Amino acid sequence: MRVPPTIHITEVGPRDGLQMELRVLSTAEKLELIAGLASAGLREIQVAAFVHPEKVPAMADAEALIGALPLHDQMHYSALALNLQGVVRACRTAIPWIEISLSAHDAHSRRNAGLSTTDALAQSGPMLAMAIGAGRKVRASIQCAFGYETPEDVDIDAVAVAASRLVEKGADRLVLADTTGLAAPPTVRRMLAAVAPIAGSIPVGLHLHDTRGLGLANVMAALELGISHFDTSLGGLGGCPFIEGAAGNIATEDALYLFHRLGIATGIDISRVAALSRRLARVFNHPLPGKIYRLAATHLDFRPR
């Protein structure tokens, strides 16, 4: 099996992971977590979301958090925006990457962003133009790309249309999100076969939730097609506040273990990430969904490569 020689991981735990927890971390606690992830070798970290603070209280300190980050060229911090107002807020900060995200399913789009899919797609052009005009890099993501309530309720052609629009407007990366965890290896292959030609030279990444336990199987399917960009969340934290029963992202440590066993370089210290997950499990007073972080440090002998 041929796989990419290196992998690019975007750690989304400080955003996607923390937004689902009842215990809201302070800005200082978040900064400590982000610093720990950076020291473990992670170079792409999604730190915040510019969303309504009453709907997602854990993201209420987005501006303060970004204002306190040690921004430099070696770190690619990003923040999520769902509408034009979110991009306006993001551009008032120094965040270097803005994720402009829309949904491929109308009901989810209305619940998540307060916009129909038609309106969200129309608004994506001005959102990208604003972010690019402010000198920011753009991650453009399509939520529910693999279905909302069933795998059949989102059409591949609709995802392709959205992808074409985002690429045309200047996205630097295109991310397909399995928001409800409905993807399976065959649908991952079909979706990537449809979207990769549209993206052309723009990297395509996957944001996979592990709701039904197929997260790493879907990673394998994507690796076989040459995909090297993946979103992960330490300990498997995460989910969507607007999807009942949504589980977290694939765990960073579990993905790292897979990549390292395949001989793929990541440059990330799995034992350091696992230590952070164990600490969060104590802070939140419940076990996290991931598996590898639970192992004793002596069993995590994979060094950065």
Q: Give CA–CA dist 33/30, Å, rounded.
A: 5
Say how many C-beta atoms besides its own lie within 10 A of residue 194's C-beta.
14
* Distance separating alpha carbons of residues 305 and 299, to the nearest angstrom: 17
H-helix or E-strand spanning residue 175: strand 173-178
Structure tokens at 98: 């803005």
Question: Which stretches of the chain are DSSP H helices?
Answer: 27-39, 62-68, 84-91, 106-113, 117-133, 156-168, 185-199, 215-224, 252-261, 270-284
Using an 8 Å Cβ cutoff, are 102 and 138 in contact? Answer: no
Is 91 part of the annotated catalytic residue set? no
Q: Which of 100, 120, 240, 247 is catalytic?
A: 240
Q: Are 96 and 137 in contact (CB under 8 A)?
A: yes
Count how many residues are written for the chain. 305
How many other CB atoms sit within 10 Å of the CB of residue 111?
15
- The residues that are catalytic are 240
